Amino acid sequence: MQLNFTTRETELLHLVAQSAADLQIEAFAVGGFVRDKILNRDCKDIDIVCVGSGIDLAKRVADNYRQRYPNDEYPHVAYFKNFGTAQIRLHDIELEFVGARKESYRRESRKPIVEDGTLEDDQNRRDFTINALAIYLSKERFGEIIDSFNGLEDLKNGIIRTPLEPEITFDDDPLRMLRAVRFASQLNFRIEDKTYQAIEPLAGRLKIISQERITDELNKIILSAKPSVGFKLLFNTKLLHQFFPEMVKLHGVSLVDNYGHKDNFYHTLKVLDNLSENTGDLWLRWSAILHDIAKPATQRFEEGHGWTFHGHEVVGARWTPKIFTRLKLPLDEKMKFVQKMVALHLRPISLTKENITDSAIRRIIFDAGDDLESLLLLCDADITSKNEEKVKRYKENLKLVLQKIKEVEARDHIRNWQPPISGEIIMQTFNIKPSREVGIIKEAIKDAILDGVIPNDYDAAYNLMLEKGNELGLTMNN
């Protein structure tokens, strides 16, 4: 098989081969690099396994690199003695070195390695056959593929399979169950039956894995082209139940007098897939996952009305920081963005149900600010129904809202707008401290401008401030 190495990769791999020959040890490129090369996917890291000391090999590579490229800066070798691993970053490529070992391979493992092994030992303890391929890096056999577990066949057929009995491979590192789902979703592969069936009975073992590692895999699932593939697998294997109970609760339909509602789990996945066709933004995709997360907690059956989920967007927004905290997702502006999307996700669609006033449009522009386009993408993705007519009608209505937003924006410049009277001015004028009254007056000015009751200028806002202050019994500071 001919592998398409870039010129840079070829140079570096030859350098490693030369360095291994200098030390009289065998070296191989392994893992994700080999898999991605065969699949013609981009890859930035090259994992090298050698039968000997990975650290010594890395140092030799750095020396040889220096000789070959005297004008380039001396490569920095980061090494971790306890683990027998070393890394060299060479511009945009990272080389990772490790000595072949008898026990399970885990880059993130905190356990020091104990026993050296052969290449075969090393490949035996990897996660999947497609990740247990190796490329010879010796002068004589440079570039030849070693395929001990029919990984090439599995790559061709799109199969995720453990090299050993799945129970053994998963027991070595339970995160691999999640990785099986991640690769299935990311590469659009199928998890082979025996491997798949081993997951559910072992799903509880995910408990010993750090949340950071779990979330890392989860985010990769979310970023795959069709994330529902991964989420359905997570649900069916009960992996999802181990770390995301709120999402599991979306599943199922309650019935009262034979009245059901949408299954919110599958609806959420549909929204996520729809949205993923239009954005690769992880946080916007997270907004889709959380937009209806509080529906089960807010659902009521109202006689004559059917099922309602009043306030689910408010409760969902309230839950967002809690869920982010537990999943060890960032609590910065990314979380705030998701929270805002969850809170506002009903607004544009609800506009289409009434006569669309300029005032309502100004409010949504003001509230969404720079995230308005993202919100509209989410709303568009949220239109799901088996009834094609309905979908068409809703989408048309949303287009109308968009049209109207463009008109109002061009005219009123409300996005990221700040009302002309600040809290400071209010406090100075009435000689008061920060208080409820300041909030009331500010809100009244904002509402009056957004509703078009007064023009968007200082004098009009100032007069309204005086009027409101008077109503509240405040007196002016002389």
The site for ligand CTP (CB under 6 A) is made up of 31-32, 47, 105-107, 126-127, 131, 173, 175-176, 179
Q: Which residue is nearest to ligand CTP (CB)?
A: 32
Tell me if 9 sits within 8 A of 93, measured CB to CB. Answer: yes
**CB count, 10 Å around CB of 222?**
21
Closest distance of CB 128 from ligand CTP, Å: 7
Tokens 């809290």 map to which residue? 423
DSSP class of residue 75 equals P
- Cβ distance to ligand CTP smaller for residue 107 or 156: 107
Q: Which is nearer to ligand CTP, 224 or 339 (CB)?
A: 224
Q: 31 or 348, CB closer to ligand CTP?
A: 31
> With respect to ligand CTP, which residue has the nearer C-beta, 131 or 237?
131
Run of H or E residues at 469: helix 458-471
Looking at residue 72, the DSSP 8-state letter turns out to be: S
Q: Is the CB of 47 or the CB of 380 nearer to ligand CTP?
A: 47
| Angstrom distance (rounded) from CA 219 to CA 202 | 22
Cβ distance to ligand CTP smaller for residue 32 or 423:
32
Q: How far is the CB of 406 from ligand CTP (least distance, A)?
A: 40
Pair of tokens at residue 13: 């791999």
- To ligand CTP, the closest distance from the beta carbon of 361 in angstroms equals 43
β-bridge partners, 134? 30, 146
**Between 217 and 292, CB nearer to ligand CTP:** 217
Smallest separation (angstroms) from ligand CTP to the CB of 216: 8
* 190 SS3 class: strand
Q: For ligand CTP, which is the closer residue by CB, 118 or 357? A: 118
Q: Least distance to ligand CTP from the beta carbon of 57, Å?
A: 17
Q: How far apart are CA 191 and CA 184, in angstroms?
A: 6
What's the CA angle centered on 374, arms 370 and 378, to 5 degrees?
A: 150
Q: Could you give the 3-state DSSP secondary structure of residue 181?
A: helix
CB contact set of 453 (below 8 Å; sequence gap of 6+): 447
Residue 451 Cβ vs ligand CTP, minimum distance, rounded to whole Å? 52
Residue 365 burial by Cβ neighbours in a 10 Å radius (0-12, 13-18, 19+): buried
The burial of 290, by beta-carbon neighbours within 10 Å (0-12 exposed, 13-18 middle, 19 or more buried), is given as buried
CB of 103 to ligand CTP, least distance (A): 11
Question: Is residue 431 left, alpha or beta, with left meaning phi > 0 and alpha meaning psi from -120 to 50?
Answer: left
Closest distance to ligand CTP from the beta carbon of 54 (Å): 14
